[in-house]
Amino acid sequence: MKEVPLGNITDKASFEATNALVVMGRYAYRKSASYSRTCYDGTDGNSTSCGYYVRPTLPYNATLSQSCPFAGTICRGPSISLDTGFLRSDEHLGFNTRPEDAMLMRKVLTCAPLASEKYIEDPIQIPDDIKIRFEIFDEIRYTGYRLGTYLEPGNPMPEFTFSTSNIHHDFGDLPYGLA
């Protein structure tokens, strides 16, 4: 697919602003990587640099062998659920508020291995108007995964959750990965 340019950085002011963002992003990445190596390397993390956050980690409960969170037979096996329980914005995240103004939040994440092979359309028949608009060539073969609709603005084929092509595979990208 042809990438849509996000802006012109050929003028000096735009180039300097973009350069500053890149430099700051690189600085933040390096600082984060250094922090995680120092404070989460399996030791006690008593370095003076590890006191940056109010809590070194947030509490959570992991529940193994959960049932599939999706309808049908889309899961390949049991899932895992991670639940933070209720976290207080002042106590866990370090927001400076009066105790009565603190917010409670909770995050529950369920991960499941998907049997996506059942939901593949290979190759996708791409309509000509989409081929022209995104400069898709006939030698590129797309594989689509129908795991649910993907209603992102500008998505030309929302009936596919995601797709991949032989170009992605040639350059080392995979349609999905296991972390």
Q: Is residue 131 part of a domain?
A: yes
Whether 177 is covered by a domain: the verdict is: no
Q: Which of 142, 136, 145 is nearest to 176 (CA)?
A: 145
Q: Please give the C-alpha separations between residue 16 and each of 10, 20, 21, 23, 152, in angstroms, as whole numbers.
A: 10, 6, 9, 10, 32
For residues 83-111, give the mean pLDDT: 93
Q: Are residues 94 and 144 in the same domain?
A: no
In which order are the strands placed within the sheet that holds 120-121?
120-121, 142-145, 162-165
| Other beta carbons within 10 Å of 146 | 16
Q: Looking at the domain assignment, is residue 139 inside a domain?
A: yes
Model confidence pTM above 0.85: no
- pLDDT of 105 above 90: yes
Could you tell me if residue 176 is inside a domain? no
Query: Do 27 and 70 reside in the same domain of the chain?
Result: no
pLDDT of residue 179: 44
Average pLDDT estimate for 37-62: 76
Residue 153 lies in a domain: yes
Asked if 145 and 168 count as a contact pair (C-beta separation under 8 A), the reply is no
Among 39-43, 51-55, 135-139, 171-175, the range of highest mean pLDDT: 51-55
Do residues 125 and 166 share a domain? yes
Number of residues in the chain: 179
Rounded average pLDDT over 162-167: 73
Note down the domain range covering 82.
55-113
Predicted confidence (pLDDT) at residue 4 exceeds the cutoff of 50: no
The number of domains in the chain is: 3
- Of 113, 138, 157, the position where a domain reaches its end is 113
Residue 102's pLDDT band (boundaries 50, 70, 90)? very high
Indicate whether 141 belongs to any domain: yes
Q: What per-residue confidence (pLDDT) applies to 62? A: 95
For the stretch 58-83, pLDDT in tens is 899 999 988 888 877 788 888 999 99
- Contact between 163 and 124 under an 8 Å Cβ cutoff? The reply is yes
In a domain, 179, yes or no: no
